[in-house]
Structure 1
Amino acid sequence: MYDVFQTDRLIDFWLAEDIGYCDLTAQLMIEAHEIGAFAMNARETLIVAGIDVAARIFRRYDPTLEVNVHVKDGEKIERGTVMLDVSGTARSVLTAERTVLNIVQRLSGIANLTEQYVAAMAGTKARLIDTRKTTPGLRMLEKHAVTCGGGLNHRLGLDNGVMIKDNHIAVCGGIAKAVQRARKQLPVLTKLEVECDSLAQVEEALAANVDVIMLDNMSLEDMTRAVEIVGGRVMLEASGGINLATIGAVARTGVDYISTSKINQAAACVDIGLDEAE
């Protein structure tokens, strides 16, 4: 889920960044009246993310282009699948091509990796959530890509919820004081989460009546014990040091959520190409 208005602002920036004053190659080699027809093809199996953004880029650069989308975000497709086709002024298609491919390759790469993490948690109640460690300027779309791969979004930004971390606790003089200070002006529909790095802090946060407790860089044994201590009274989130090799064991401790920045930061772009239509 993303906002079209915000997306258009990003598209304008992306196009300006890549084109500069003009696409010199296209201007020199392709006549203004020449028409072309092209297809965006998946060159590997992938989870689609950002396909509507791709179509919007073509149309925003040149509204006369005809774009037909053949797949949906969140859909798993095989190598060779035609994702969209575009026809019209050849100059326009080739000028916008790289911007289109860059964003879909990036977002689909995140969706791909997210799906692998979700699969590694199969058979547990834990749900995968992302973090704010996103590419500056791309957070909205990268978080959308996570949902395409089967994950959930954590905070979209700092104004989306209260998360009391170690430095907040240190400034306030303890978890209880930090929570009390936050509760005084907390919007009524806003969640309050506290980061804990010890079982003693878990008990303190539980007593302070928080909504979510984050178990930060805890051992599997401590996470399992934290689940027992909490007994389902609040949601538990495991975070820190989570990767594809460790997430299954963490999920089996009984936590409700597992957050990791890896699904964004470690995602490799998928292979997609724009080829002349047959």
Structure 2
Amino acid sequence: MFVFHALSEVTRRHLLDAGLDPDALSGLIRHAIAEDLMGGIDVTSTATIPADQRSIATLGAREAGVVAGLPVVAAVIETVCGDAASELEYLVRDASQVELGMKVVEVTAPTRLMLTAERTALNLLCHLSGVASLTRKWADALAGTSAAVRDTRKTTPGMRALEKYAVRCGGGVNHRMGLSDMALVKDNHVAAAGGVVEAYTLVKALESTISVQIEVDSVDVMRLAIESGADDVLIDNFTLGQMREAVHLRNALNPNVRLEASGGLTVDTARQVAETGVDFIAVGELTHSSRVLDFGLDLQEVL
């Protein structure tokens, strides 16, 4: 049976500083490694590498982008190799821009176990860096405006905290983490409750202190949402002209209400949307359609 190891206090602290739960991540890593081993062993590494061999390896970028997930890589190495048997040095920090060929981490560990951990570490690093890199493109497009790019709940099951961390690394802002920390009243809720005002009233009756966002598809419905007391309004599929009208109405009714634009937006049109005066741009593709950023692990020296 494969032996998993506990995370070091240093790595746990790095994860906590990143807003990540070390125990939840440890569980995800163990599941991923178990999935890879399928109840058996790493046949290739076991056959070709002496059990007592140690090596130094580096993880390097195979294309330019934004790195995210280095403490996660450390957690994978420690889970598989053990803290006492491995050393990891960060050569850059998460959220850094990396270029082709740049080394991001150096690892010293038992060779056999390092290669068993390799694919899980790279899968996570490449995916999270892809999310961060795409987010950075949107953030750069909005630079100099008052708007920020915001993510959604369109995340990979089991990976939400990690993907939302990657969004932060890319310069984006997190929307709600789940269904319980904020209410988002959408068209189906409005239909079931009998109207916008009724839906808002019912949410506040259940959770009086919760922040409420209401999705609207017209300026008239937006007026109802603001007058009912919504903290945020999600304006869905508005034209640029309708967005400007919505901002003007918001400023007249309650300037403290935050407006978030969504629906059919692209990074090429993001700045035009931001210049209408909305506060956020909702982008689901940050987490559901980002392309991985390629990294590789290469042995540098066998000890």
TM-score by length of 1: 0.96
Q: What corresponds to 1:34 in structure 2?
A: 53
Q: Alpha carbon RMSD of aligned pairs, Å?
A: 1.2
Structure 1: distance between partners of 2:31 and 2:265: 34
Displacement of 1:187 in angstroms is 4.4
Structure 1: gaps spanning 5 or more residues: none
Report 1:172-191 matches (<5 A).
172-188=193-209, 190-191=210-211
Which residue does the alignment assign to 2:168?
Answer: 147
SS of the equivalent of 1:84 reads strand
Equivalent AA in structure 2 for residue 97 of structure 1? E
Q: Note if 1:234 corresponds to 2:254.
A: no
Q: Contact conserved, 1:163 with 1:194, CA < 8 A, in 2?
A: yes
Aligned to 1:16: 34
Q: Which residue of 2 aligns with 1:98?
A: 119
Give the one of 71, 75, 94 matched to 1:52: 71
Q: Find the partner of 1:219 among 239, 243, 248.
A: 239
- SS at the partner of 2:189? helix
Alpha-carbon separation, structure 1, partners of 2:194 and 2:117: 54
Structure-1 separation of matches of 2:294 and 2:193:
49
- Cα distance, 1:224 vs structure 2: 0.8
Percent of pairs with identical residues: 38
Please give the alpha-carbon distance, in whole angstroms, between the structure 2 residues aligned to 1:104 and 1:220.
37
Matched length: 277
1:43–1:79 Cα contact (<8 Å) kept: yes
The counterpart of 2:266, out of the listed 243, 248, 263, is: 243
1:115 is the counterpart of 2:136: yes
Under a length normalisation based on structure 2, what TM-score does the superposition of the two structures give? Answer: 0.89
| SS in structure 2 at match of 1:277 | strand
Partner amino acid for 2:47? Answer: L
Q: Which runs of 5+ in 2 are unaligned?
A: 1-18
8 A contact 2:81–2:109 mirrored in 1: no
Decide whether the 8 Å contact of 2:51 with 2:112 is kept in 1.
yes
Aligned to 1:6: 24
| Pair 1:254-2:257 in alignment | no
1:76 deviates by: 1.4
From the superposition, tell whether residues 72 and 217 of structure 1 become closer, same or farther in structure 2 (CA, over 3 Å): same
Once residues 144 and 61 of structure 2 are traced to their aligned partners in structure 1, the CA distance between those partners, rounded to angstroms, is 30
